[in-house]
């Protein structure tokens, strides 16, 4: 499953226009949860900071599989959902 973030957005230093909190779980909220756990705003910021074109995802679910934190340690994630219902309101959704 390919990333939904256009390549153009990862090249320049693009900042979000606004932010709101997630209200219900979805695949997108799951991936945002994983990026935010690793210390990034979202996939756009991760690709800008780490200078990568691809984020490793589980082929079955499309969820992020592995992320490198800013201190270069790695976070590894399961194929299944990790963001519990109680954590959904903590997830920040950015609008570009």
How many Å apart are CA 67 and CA 45, to the nearest integer?
A: 12
89 belongs to a structural domain: yes
How many Å apart are CA 90 and CA 70, to the nearest integer?
A: 21
Question: Total structural domains in the chain?
Answer: 1
Task: Give the pLDDT of residue 95.
Answer: 93
7 belongs to a structural domain: no
36 belongs to a structural domain: yes
Residue-number span of the structural domain to which 52 is assigned: 31-95
- For 51-75, write each residue's pLDDT tens digit: 999 999 999 999 999 999 999 999 9
35 belongs to a structural domain: yes
Q: What's the pTM?
A: 0.87
Q: State the chain's mean pLDDT as an integer.
A: 91
19 belongs to a structural domain: no
66 belongs to a structural domain: yes
6 belongs to a structural domain: no
- What tokens appear for 20 in the block? 């709101």
46 belongs to a structural domain: yes
Contact in structure between 61 and 49 (CB atoms under 8 Å) = no
């Amino acid at each position: 499953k390919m990333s939904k973030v256009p390549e153009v957005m990862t090249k320049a230093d693009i900042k979000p226009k606004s932010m709101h909190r997630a209200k219900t779980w979805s695949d997108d909220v799951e991936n945002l949860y994983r990026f935010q756990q690793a210390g990034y705003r979202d996939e756009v910021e991760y690709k800008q900071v780490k200078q990568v074109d691809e984020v490793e995802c589980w082929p079955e679910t499309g969820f992020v599989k592995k992320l490198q934190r800013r201190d270069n340690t790695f976070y590894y994630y399961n194929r299944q959902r990790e963001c519990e219902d109680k954590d959904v309101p903590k997830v920040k959704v950015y609008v570009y």
